[in-house]
């Protein structure tokens, strides 16, 4: 019995030794990267700031074209709303028959007065000669000279009447005071208009401007000549320059107007449209800020996050506070060390503690192959 127990124990020990020798050693488990990323270092420098504003598109200058003649009927209208016109183009014509007849009458009166003046001039010259020969008294000579002066005055009066009638006749042709676009028309063929009646409205030179509203606190931040990018309600994107900032602030809204000149060709943008935009402000040379690519910022649950990678290729999530956006750079106000390397893109697919594969900055980031 003792021999059997000893033999069984020896066999079991020998089998355990052989099993331990045949079992391969445990190897560490390799973790597959979840994403291939590119890293970038934050940049420090002056950030070009932009001021957001809303406003309306309006005519740079709008001219009112009215009737100068009184009590005349419109016989022809040559333009309509939206037509482009040049300076001096005929917009409408008024009835001129009566004025032409009055002009002819005035010209006849002028001719008659001119003939009478010539006659009185000859009589005055004869009176001078006869007075020198002793046949005319001084009183008779004075009377002849006075008649000549009176005749000349009647000529001047008749000439003034002719000029007045010519001016009234010219007023029967309504012309454009400047080049531009017709924005409104009240003229109707057959209607009788009075002096000063508005017939057309004209956007001078077809130029529009953006009248942006800004708060009183931002008045001193907008320089003349600053570039503005505007998006009209029609979707048209325009670029303009600040012409001036209003010298006063509205007492009711406490807002000031910024007048931005727009290019002549505004496409689908029209006067009266609402538009939103941003005005570029000059960066302060003393305001050094930390910025990262906009694509690196991930917004979750209303908070902004950045992702950094350590030497072991492990991802760390950093909660940061962001500021202004300038182009493709986002200002980081707090929460990011200046020497950290952040994931440029793909952060939305990462979680804290993930393992990633890092590419050089020149290589595009692509998801890891499965």
Per CATH, the architecture of 35-47+286-359 is what?
A: Beta Barrel (2.40)
Rounded distance between C-alpha atoms, residue 54 and residue 228, angstroms: 12
Rounded distance between C-alpha atoms, residue 108 and residue 104, angstroms: 6
Q: Where are the beta strands (DSSP E) in 70-132?
A: 72-77, 84-85, 90-94
In the chain, the N- to C-terminal Cα span, in Å, equals 62
Which residues, including other chains, have CB under 8 Å from residue 249's CB and lie 6 or more apart? 216, 219, 255, 256
pTM (2 d.p.): 0.59
Q: What is the pLDDT of residue 173?
A: 94
Contact predicate 96/168, CB 8 Å: no
In terms of Cα–Cα distance, which of 361, 321, 344, 329 is closest to 46?
A: 329
For tokens 């079991």, name the residue: 12
Contact predicate 79/185, CB 8 Å: yes
Residues β-bridged to residue 211:
56, 259
**Spacing of C-alpha 72 from chain mean position:** 41
Contact predicate 51/214, CB 8 Å: yes
Rounded distance between C-alpha atoms, residue 57 and residue 275, angstroms: 7
Say whether 51-60+205-281 and 35-47+286-359 share the same fold: no
**Spacing of C-alpha 340 from chain mean position:** 41
Collapsing DSSP to helix, strand or coil, 293 comes out as strand
Pick the CATH number of 97-170 from 1.10.287, 3.40.50, 1.10.260, 3.30.70: 1.10.287
Rounded distance between C-alpha atoms, residue 298 and residue 349, angstroms: 10
For tokens 């182009």, name the residue: 327
Q: What is the pLDDT of residue 365?
A: 41
Which residues, including other chains, have CB under 8 Å from residue 205's CB and lie 6 or more apart? 60, 178, 179, 180, 264
Contact predicate 73/60, CB 8 Å: no
Rounded distance between C-alpha atoms, residue 269 and residue 239, angstroms: 12
Rounded distance between C-alpha atoms, residue 363 and residue 341, angstroms: 16
CA-angle at 288, arms to 283 and 293, nearest 5°: 85
Domain ranges across the chain: 35-47+286-359, 51-60+205-281, 73-91+175-204, 97-170
Collapsing DSSP to helix, strand or coil, 3 comes out as helix
The class that CATH gives domain 51-60+205-281 is mainly beta
pLDDT in tens, the chain (370 residues): 444 444 444 444 544 444 445 444 434 445 567 678 888 888 887 777 788 899 999 999 999 999 998 889 999 999 999 999 999 999 999 999 989 999 999 999 999 999 998 988 888 888 788 777 777 777 877 888 888 888 899 999 999 999 999 999 999 999 999 999 999 999 999 999 999 899 999 999 999 999 999 999 888 889 899 999 999 988 889 999 999 999 999 999 899 999 999 988 888 888 999 999 999 886 655 567 888 888 889 998 889 999 988 878 888 888 999 877 777 888 888 888 888 888 988 777 888 888 888 886 543 444 444 3
For tokens 């570039």, name the residue: 227
């Amino acid at each position: 019995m003792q021999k059997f127990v000893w033999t069984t124990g020896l066999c079991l020990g020998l089998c355990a030794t052989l099993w331990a020798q045949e079992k391969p050693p445990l190897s560490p488990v390799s973790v597959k990267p979840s994403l291939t990323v590119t890293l970038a270092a934050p940049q420090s420098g002056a950030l070009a700031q932009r001021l957001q504003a809303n406003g309306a598109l309006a005519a740079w200058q709008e001219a009112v074209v009215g009737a100068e003649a009184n009590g005349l009927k419109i016989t022809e209208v040559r333009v309509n709303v939206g037509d482009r016109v040049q300076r001096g183009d005929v917009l409408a014509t008024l009835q001129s028959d009566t004025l032409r007849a009055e002009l002819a009458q005035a010209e006849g009166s002028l001719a008659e007065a001119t003939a009478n003046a010539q006659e009185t001039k000859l009589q005055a010259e004869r009176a001078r000669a006869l007075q020198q020969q002793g046949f005319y008294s001084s009183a008779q000579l004075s009377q002849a000279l006075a008649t000549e002066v009176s005749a000349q005055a009647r000529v001047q009066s008749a000439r003034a009447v002719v000029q007045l009638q010519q001016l009234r006749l010219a007023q029967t042709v309504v012309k454009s005071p400047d080049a531009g676009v017709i924005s409104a028309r009240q003229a109707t063929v057959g209607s009788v208009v009075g002096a000063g009646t508005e017939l057309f409205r004209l956007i001078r030179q077809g130029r529009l401007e953006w009248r942006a509203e800004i708060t009183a606190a931002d008045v001193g931040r907008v320089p003349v000549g600053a570039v503005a990018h505007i998006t009209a309600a029609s979707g048209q994107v325009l670029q303009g320059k600040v012409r001036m900032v209003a010298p006063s602030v509205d007492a009711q809204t406490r807002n000031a107007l910024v007048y931005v000149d727009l290019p002549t060709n505004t496409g689908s943008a029209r006067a009266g449209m609402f538009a939103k935009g941003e005005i570029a402000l000059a960066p302060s040379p003393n305001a050094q800020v930390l910025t990262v690519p906009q694509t690196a910022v991930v917004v979750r649950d209303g908070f902004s996050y950045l992702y950094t990678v350590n030497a072991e290729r492990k991802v760390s999530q950093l909660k940061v506070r962001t500021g202004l956006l300038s182009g493709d750079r986002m200002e980081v106000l707090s929460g990011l060390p200046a020497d950290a390397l952040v994931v440029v893109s793909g952060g939305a697919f990462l979680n804290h503690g993930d393992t990633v594969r890092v590419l050089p900055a020149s290589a595009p980031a692509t998801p890891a192959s499965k």
